[in-house]
Amino acid sequence: MDDLLELDDQLTPEHRMVRDSVAGFVTDRVLPHVGDWFEQGVFPARELAPVLGSLGMLGMHLEGYGCAGLDAVSYGVACRELEAGDSGLRSFVSVQGSLAMFPIWKYGSEEQKREWLPRMASGEAIGCFGLTEPDHGSDPAGMRTTAKQDPSGDWMLNGAKMWITNGSIADVAVVWAQTDDGIRGFVVPTSAPGFSAPEIHRKMSLRASVTSSLYFDDVRLPASAVLPGVTGLKGPLSCLTEARFGILWGVVGAARACLEAAVDYARTRVQFGRPIGAFQLTQEKLAWMAVALGQAGLTALHLGRLKDAGTLKPRQVSFGKLANVRAALDIARQARTVLGANGVTLEYPVIRHMNNLESVLTYEGTQEVHLLTLGKALTDLDAFR
């Protein structure tokens, strides 16, 4: 399928190497199996993590400690190609690098960095990020998970988190909790007594992804478990900004996969004696999908360049996450109509991407939260208060 805007011509040779490397991995190791993974509700994380690590994809935008240290556009391109395979795959890489490794890299002690980052970069250790709770999603300031320090200096962690990607397979969890000094982050080995992470089943979206609840029942942690470099919501929100950047790139890949499937189908599906792609109404659908895909790609590339220049603002990430996820979901839904009844089977990727994008629309900031973020930027009035 033609890249109508020839956006990839704007990529450097290094970016194209990343693109081709990740796309090759997805073609060889993911696409032949991901429909079955989705249908069965499984994701072979332990099998894929070392391969992803060997390709430098885990924490690839971080420097040192075994990380690749690539630029933001490289990370975005990688997320795009991963999500062209499946949103669950991109979510795994995004959570590992942006939500679990990033806070340790940014706010952790030297001891925490040396203990965890090299193992996580290689795929030997898997991480998760505990912020959302059963009763607190868009309002994390109201979290009920607590960490109290006893006279010995140890912390006692109690509470619950929900909708946690990688939770049941993680070796380490970055958990955010209320303390007497405000919200703090903790590096929690999942082998700690009192920690449990049952998997959430019966999902109709992100089925090729491990989603869990986390429970902390008097989990005793040493004083050194706290992330020393940040206090307050700035910590977890900065991690979400990192991850949202990967999302706004990743969904371009999912949308592209849906458009490619629709174009291929329209060229070969014959009705009334001619390919359905020859009918004006079908071409109109495909053209509008291509326009939306191009706009999303332009947004992602622009924001990637801003991030590499060090000028990217959180509200701009909200713009990208809001606009690109909505565009990708619209493309997936329209592509489904081009495929007709075949669009609801796993013989084609469209329904899988469409269902996944329903989750991506909500997680790491609902569209309502991002709309209000942009509204505040426009009016200087805070609708959250």
For 302-344, the pLDDT digits (tens) are: 999 999 999 999 999 999 999 999 999 999 999 999 999 999 9
Tell me whether residue 293 is exposed, middle or buried, using C-beta atoms within 10 angstroms of its C-beta: 0 to 12, 13 to 18, 19 or more: buried
Residue-averaged pLDDT of the chain: 97
Q: Does the pLDDT of residue 385 top 80, yes or no?
A: no
Q: Which two tokens stand for residue 309?
A: 């220049």
As annotated, the active-site residues are: 364
Residue with tokens 């939306």: 292
Q: What is the DSSP letter of 167?
A: G
Q: Which two tokens stand for residue 366?
A: 């609902």
Q: Which residues pair with 155 in a beta bridge?
A: 149, 221
pLDDT tens, 243-277? 999 999 999 999 999 999 999 999 999 999 999 99
Query: What pLDDT is recorded for position 309?
Result: 98
Average pLDDT over residues 160-186: 97
Query: What pLDDT is recorded for position 158?
Result: 98
Query: What pLDDT is recorded for position 64?
Result: 97
- Determine the Cα–Cα distance for residues 312 and 128; give it in Å rounded to an integer: 25
Q: Could you give the count of Cα atoms lying within 13 Å of 9 in the half-sphere of its Cβ?
A: 5
Rg of the chain on CA atoms, in Å: 21
Contacts 24+ apart (CB under 8 A), 40-43: 40/207, 41/201, 41/203, 41/207, 41/208, 42/208, 43/88, 43/89, 43/92, 43/208, 43/209, 43/210
The SS3 assignment for 218 reads strand
Beta-strand relationship, 127-130 and 172-179: parallel
Q: Are 156 and 220 in contact (CB under 8 A)?
A: yes
Residue type, 32: P
Q: What is the DSSP letter of 98?
A: I
Non-local CB neighbours of 383 within 8 Å, separated by 6+ positions: 372, 375, 376
Query: What pLDDT is recorded for position 137?
Result: 87
Q: Does the pLDDT of residue 1 top 90, yes or no?
A: no
For 211, list phi and psi in degrees, rounded to 5.
-120, 135
Query: What pLDDT is recorded for position 101?
Result: 98
- Determine the Cα–Cα distance for residues 40 and 24; give it in Å rounded to an integer: 24
The SS3 assignment for 344 reads helix
- Determine the Cα–Cα distance for residues 17 and 64; give it in Å rounded to an integer: 21
Residue with tokens 């979206």: 205
> Which candidate, 383, 232, 249, places its Cα nearest to that of 317?
249
pTM, 2 dp: 0.96
Q: Does the pLDDT of residue 138 top 90, yes or no?
A: no
Give percent of the chain above pLDDT 90.
97
